[in-house]
Amino acid sequence: MFQFQHIGYLYALGLLPVLVLLYIMTIYWRARKLKQLGDERLVNEQIRGFIPGRNTFRFILLAIGLSVMIIGWANLRMGDKSEKVQRKGIDVIIALDVSKSMLANDVQPDRLTRAKQLVMHLTDKMKNDRIALVVFAGRSYLQVPLTVDYSAVKMLLQNVSPDMVPTQGTVIGDAIDLSMNTFTQNERKYKSLIIITDGEDHDETAIEKTRTAADAGVIVHTVGIGSPQGVTLYDPETKAMKLDEAGNPVVSRLNEDELKSIANAGHGSYNLLQNTDEVANKLIMELESMEQKSLGSVVYTDFSSYFQYFLLAGFLALVIEWLLPGSKRKAKIINNGSVA
């Protein structure tokens, strides 16, 4: 089975269409300049060693050389042998608040961005656990089902925004319900729910539903983001201050009491998100301290890499392009087309 070790390097291939466009523009620019000097055929005859199509051939060699070397850097490889190994882990669901209050900037650059950074740090530190992502505001949606493909979680996390949930508000209880339905129902352990929110809950059933989840074997952790003092909210489109029905500025505050109560009911921990890496480490320690289930998995343990062949082919293409002789003018051509 072939795969690229550094698949992200292949994005550099996107530069090739840009180079092709620039080369085409250069060809048209050169043709226009030659026409200004006089008859194009006569002008070309004054160029020593002129061979039609040689510049295009050199450009093709250059493009091939760069393309093949980029593929080499991505390191195409194949697994030589596979081994059945026993892994241990748990199921973790991250419930991320995407309500508009998460756009408040009492933490920089804003609450939602910092929360997404925390999720990134968590996935970087996880090894064998399955992970799912739930986004919630006035309603909840399963964004990523339980998976060990951490790269998929990171990719989809990039597009998470308040626009994903048309119903605004913060209903933590609904996020807990959806998470419980996502977990494997026939197990009473190996499960944890991490709720990341500013705690401005518009639902009074969150603590009751957390107790129900705890009774089903789910450990519930909460992460608070924001400041207890609060900050005035602004509309991201109009940049105008948000006002309530009485015409007063809307202030969003971190509700730590609510989040501490939820964590206590869920036999978990509460963390205030200040240092992202520190909070991620604490949560990973909590997860690793839980009883874990065995997971059978086939993994490739030994690979043969083929990057050297691509790098060699690319290097040869660039050397050939460099060795091809260029062309020189036989004589100076003045503006009126005569030869001096």
Tens-digit pLDDT profile for residues 59-95: 999 999 999 999 999 988 887 766 666 668 899 999 9
204 pLDDT higher than 60 = yes
Please give the CATH number for the structural domain made up of 85-296: 3.40.50.410
- 208-239 pLDDT, tens per residue? 999 999 999 999 999 999 998 888 877 766 67
* The predicted structure's pLDDT at residue 137: 92
Q: At 47, which amino acid appears?
A: I
The closest alpha carbon to 230, from 215, 202, 249, belongs to: 249
Q: Where are the domains of the chain?
A: 2-75+306-329, 85-296
* The predicted structure's pLDDT at residue 304: 81
43-47, 86-90, 96-100, 244-248: range with highest mean pLDDT: 96-100
330 pLDDT higher than 50 = no
Give the C-alpha separation, 307 to 329, whole Å: 41
Provide mean pLDDT across the span 151-171. Answer: 87
Instruction: Give 324's pLDDT tier (boundaries 50, 70, 90).
Output: confident
Half-sphere exposure of 136 (CA within 13 A, CB side): 28
The closest alpha carbon to 46, from 326, 333, 324, belongs to: 333
Among 3-7, 178-182, 266-270, 332-336, where is mean pLDDT lowest? 332-336
* The predicted structure's pLDDT at residue 134: 96
* The predicted structure's pLDDT at residue 291: 83
Integer angstrom CA distances of residue 176 from 96, 170, 179, 228: 11, 12, 5, 24
